[in-house]
Amino acid sequence: MKELKFVQDILQAETPGETSDLILNVGFNGLFFQRWYPDIMDNWEGHLAEGFQEHYYAAQIYRFCPVARAIHQWHRNYTFAEARRSILVGNEQAKLADSLWKFFGMEDGVVVFSGRCNLKSALILTTDRPVEELYQKYSGVLALAADKLDKQLYPGHTLLRQLSRENITLSPIQQKILKLQINQPELSNAAMAEMLGISVNTLFSHHKKIAKKEGVTTFTGAIIKQLHKNTSD
């Protein structure tokens, strides 16, 4: 009966936020959505521990993460535990990736695929305990929920943040800073910091990190390098 109610609620959900809340309420502690294009990916942090993705991408931990590797190697839904038992077993950097998930309270999870028009997407859910029992109970409804979110978060939706798959070494906030600086150069540092919801000092700190990751000495140099990349493309 509870599963039937879950199905009905998912079908009636009108927004990504409503769909997300329904999924989290059955026992998950984290949820995010991704869609892949050849050069970029859509990303929506529906409910995720603050700071996780910045560490995950900025430190390039995703490159050795079994969960991420499986997304591009497998074409079926899977739990984090399955990926960890099958990919990069014993690899020290893979262990570091696992530790990062767990440090942010995400012991296990499940990846549920969806997509349309030749675009692959996935709903990534996390738990603070082994997920197998929960996933087996709701696997069918979660497939429905993944498809619902794929429709709700259509390409170009305002909730989606696009990340460059080639420039993934920059964290999401750093990519946003660089894009904002290029698209709205007239903004003052104070105005930009306010738009991003961070302090000016934090903005300056990111400027230094961006420059270092781009292999240049100044943030201005990073902007010029990015503009050159865009022109080359």
Range 84-89 contact pairs with CB under 8 angstroms and sequence separation of 24 or more = 88/64
How far apart, in whole angstroms, are the C-alpha atoms of residue 13 and residue 80?
Answer: 27
Residues 76 and 150 in one domain: yes
Residues 158 and 223 in one domain: no
Query: Where residue 75 sits, what CATH number does that domain have?
Result: 3.30.450.80
Per-residue model confidence as pLDDT tens digits over 44-80: 999 998 878 777 876 678 888 999 999 989 989 999 9
Domain that holds residue 177: 170-232
Residues 64 and 156 in one domain: yes
Q: Cβ-count burial of 129 within 10 angstroms (0-12 exposed, 13-18 middle, 19+ buried)? A: exposed
Residues 134 and 178 in one domain: no
DSSP state of 117: T
Number of structural domains (the chain) is: 2
The pLDDT assigned to 166 comes to 58
Residues 89 and 142 in one domain: yes
Q: Is residue 115's pLDDT more than 80? A: yes
Residues 199 and 127 in one domain: no
pTM of the model: 0.72
Per-residue model confidence as pLDDT tens digits over 128-149: 999 999 999 999 999 999 999 9
Residues 17 and 80 in one domain: yes
Residues 119 and 175 in one domain: no
Structure tokens at 159: 């909730």
222 against 65, higher pLDDT: 65
Q: Where are the alpha helices (DSSP H) in 119-188?
A: 132-152, 172-183
Residues 112 and 184 in one domain: no
The pLDDT assigned to 39 comes to 76
Least Cα distance to 9 among 138, 134, 120 occurs for 138
Sign for the CA dihedral angle at 190, 48, 43, 88 comes to positive
Residues 26 and 56 in one domain: yes
- Read off the pLDDT band of 229 (50, 70, 90): low
